[in-house]
Amino acid sequence: MALREKVPAVLLLIQGSSIEEVRLDSDGASVMLRRTWVDGAAPTEHAGDVDYAAKADAAAAELTRLGVAGRTEVRAPVVGIFHRSREADGPLLATEGDRVDGGKVLGVIETLGIGNDVTAPVGGRLAEMLIADGHRVEYGELIAVIEPG
């Protein structure tokens, strides 16, 4: 069963639970599902009032759309300050339009003075860099998008 086919079932399994984040890994692909509360508060609706099957179908459709387009998201592995080079005023590690191999360092997140590499999970063309140099990032925040090619 393909990873995108597993997502609706996982969403149904965690409905009404206190689980806030789950990561699925299968055959070299992965997806992270994270619950986000509006205004930081859990919803007040009763489980019976929510059409979880429809929500799972919508999530699966979005995942399929991303999969068809072949886009791969690169997310922050840690919290900290994002840098596009290893040194102040140094050369950029990667720029939009570059062809990157899986494992290529795209940037560095500095946390407590320690540099944590942000790497391309797959090879392709670096389509977008969404975080500017020197900006703070949160865990899981979208940093870049890689497209096939």
Which domains are seen in the chain, by residue range? 3-69 (no CATH), 73-147 (2.40.50.100)
pLDDT at 100 over 60: yes
- DSSP string for residues in 45-106: S-GGGS-HHHHHHHHHHHHHHHHHHT-EEEE-SSSEEEESSSSTTPPPS--TT-EE-TT-EE
Element containing residue 143 per DSSP (H, E): strand 142-147
Q: What is the pLDDT of residue 48?
A: 52
Read off the pLDDT of residues 19-57 as tens digits, 9 standing for 90 and up. 777 777 776 777 777 766 555 555 554 445 555 556 556
